[in-house]
Structure 1
Amino acid sequence: MKYAWLALSFAAACAAAADAPVSVQAWTPKGISSDLFESHGAFDPNTGDFYFVRSSKSFSGWRILQSHCSGGRWSTPLPPLFAGPGLEADPWFTPDGHSLYFISTRATGAMVSKDLDIWRVDRDAGGHWGRPVRLPEPVNSDAAEWFPRFGKDGWLYFGSNRPGGLGKNDIWRARQDASGRWTVENAGPAINTTGDDYEPLPSPDGKRMILMADGGLYESQLGAQGWLPRVKLGPAIDVNGSEIGAAFSPSGKTFLFARDTGEPKSGEFFVWHIEGNEAWPPVCKV
């Protein structure tokens, strides 16, 4: 399915804020929002369940939780059936809902990010999750991997602090050929800097990418020869540089992300209605 995209870029939309104020609202549904740090949300396209990361107020001890809409409210978040030991974060569903990608230290059970690898879990026709599988080298490495997200171009984009990059953490991309062999390459200087670049989020139509890096959120557009140099999102979105864990609605018209709001609530979800006032995230009601 091809998704229509707004004519203006994110940067242009922010620049025009005086004429058309950017609509950013807190999303704090009862049962999901807490005094801890909630981030990295993902809606299951098959069941509507909400998967997200909850951590301490200082953004440590990441764990994936799952909540479902029942009786007009979100259920108490619990670890999914495939949860493992250690840190787990950054859930992302394939559009068909067959697979979920995430990062985990379950191979060692360590609570330190240097052991984070990319994993995939599939489910059968009955909707039951199977056993998670660690993606092979060279996708994973001896360094940390972050935020795996597929683009419409077929590349798996992710962050990593592996050697050979342009900075501390870089955005990389991996592709699997017909024989099952993976190749990995750096996403390049239009995306990466000499600093830290962590989280790549391609838009549903593949024309844009949102990046979480040093200083907050950036945008790169796809040109004829590849990704164009990134630009900073406007101040209505990028308030304090702590914005992380972004996700698009399936239409690409709405944008969910987390921001560290400080004590006492710490990390909270926010919604940016890029175009119109799409009814997303879904409202849990009877």
Structure 2
Amino acid sequence: MESPSKLSTALLVLGASLCIGCTNPKGIVKFEPGNISTKAVEYSCTFSSDDTEIYFARSEQAWGSGDIKSTIYHAKKKNGKWSTPKVASFSGTHDDSDPHLTIDGNTLYFISNRPSANATRSADIWSVARNEKGAWGTPMILPYPINSEKTEYSPRTDGEGNLFFASDRPGGYGQGDLYVSKLKDGELQPPMNMGNTLNSSFGEWNLEVNDKGNLIIFEASQRETNVSPYGDLYISFKQDNAWTQPQNMVELNTSGSDLYPYLTKDGKYLYYTSSDSLKGKSTHIYVTEFRKLRWKYEQQSNNLKD
């Protein structure tokens, strides 16, 4: 991502000005203010492994105003500077959001309500692949039962190609649950609910997994431990083939919506989306150093286990 020295300096200088729902807010800055984080609604970013491309969702409608229509934007970095974002070649007509670029950069997953001859029209997971010239091809909807007649959210893959996502399909524990579709012999298998340690009787939505598939950060709504009922970020670790009890990441969460986490491939930085306050009408993309946060919550998980 950004060079450590440059980003660390920015975090120290600007981080204390952001009012976060914790006792000692620091080290959190708005990403690319005025260019990528603007007066519009921006959320759900994903970067290429070499940090030269970003894809994210943008809407001109107010956050929380109902079913907003979003478009996926794309920018490139050259000589340390990000270009002005442009609409991605495969987006701009339908409601598209939640982009996720795979590790090799050759496939991008996203959510869209665009029509398909093979499915009931709903917000489903689609994928698009780069051709030999590096241009994006024609998006394809993922098959059922990965998709459902209900809404899917936030597709993410780990280093093995397993697909994680959220859905409000029937049969879960609550309003929305986290699912995983394992990759076997080159084919994604029917999705499995990730269980009631992560999922609850409330809502679990947008998520991020690391490349090893042993760390997950996700948005949860209406839990008693939430700072905001509208969505807080939680973290859990996979230990002995089981997920630890999710912990509220209090340094990040505000009275508004905090969601759409993204981890850099080296694990140094965490990007996420926030509306900053209960009445916030816009969302922006923020970035913070992650390694100390990970160490803190991993130690706490070990203590809870003991």
Q: Tell whether the structures are fold-level matches, with TM greater than 0.5.
A: yes
Q: Which residue of 1 aligns with 2:55?
A: 51
Q: Deviations over 1:153-184 (max 9, x none)?
A: 54311010100000011111112432736221
2:288 to 253, 267, 272: 272
Q: Deviations over 1:11-38 (max 9, x none)?
A: xxxxxx98x9752222234322221111
Deviation at 1:261, TM superposition (A): 2.9
Matched-pair contact (CA < 8 Å) for 2:51–2:77: no
4+ residue segments displaced more than 4 Å: 70-73, 262-265
Q: Which residue of 2 aligns with 1:182?
A: 189
1:256 to 271, 293, 305: 271
**Matching of residue 229 in structure 1 with residue 237 in structure 2:** no
Decide which structure has greater helix share: 2
Distance 1:265 1:138, change over 3 A: closer
Q: Report how many residues are paired.
A: 254
Matched-pair contact (CA < 8 Å) for 2:207–2:260: no
TM-score, structure 2 length as denominator?
A: 0.75
Question: For 2:41 and 2:138, how far apart are their aligned partners in 1?
Answer: 28
Deviation at 1:238, TM superposition (A): 1.2
Q: Which residue of 2 aligns with 1:135?
A: 142
Distance 1:179 1:217, change over 3 A: closer
**Matching of residue 23 in structure 1 with residue 30 in structure 2:** no
Deviation at 1:46, TM superposition (A): 5.9
Stretches of structure 2 that go unaligned for 5 or more consecutive residues are 1-21, 222-230, 293-306
**Matching of residue 86 in structure 1 with residue 94 in structure 2:** yes
For residues 161-172 of structure 1, what are the structure 2 equivalents within 5 Å?
Answer: 161-172=168-179
Deviation at 1:50, TM superposition (A): 1.7
TM-score, structure 1 length as denominator?
A: 0.80
Q: Deviations over 1:40-60 (max 9, x none)?
A: 111233681221111222252
Stretches of structure 1 that go unaligned for 5 or more consecutive residues are 1-16, 109-113, 277-286
Question: For 2:136 and 2:50, how far apart are their aligned partners in 1?
Answer: 13
Question: For 1:24 and 1:264, how far apart are their aligned partners in 2?
Answer: 18
Q: Deviations over 1:73-130 (max 9, x none)?
A: 533322111126321001111111011010101126xxxxx81000111112321111
Matched-pair contact (CA < 8 Å) for 1:159–1:197: yes
Question: For 1:219 and 1:71, how far apart are their aligned partners in 2?
Answer: 34
Question: For 1:185 and 1:129, how far apart are their aligned partners in 2?
Answer: 30
Q: Taking CA–CA contacts closer than 8 Å with sequence separation of 6 or more, which of the two structures ends up with the larger relative contact order?
A: 1
Question: For 1:74 and 1:181, how far apart are their aligned partners in 2?
Answer: 34
RMSD: 2.6
Matched residue type, 1:45 = S
Q: Give secondary structure in 1 for the equivalent of 2:138.
A: coil
| Identity over aligned pairs, percent | 29
Q: Which residue of 2 aligns with 1:200?
A: 207
Q: Deviations over 1:168-216 (max 9, x none)?
A: 1111111243273622110100110111110121123332110111041
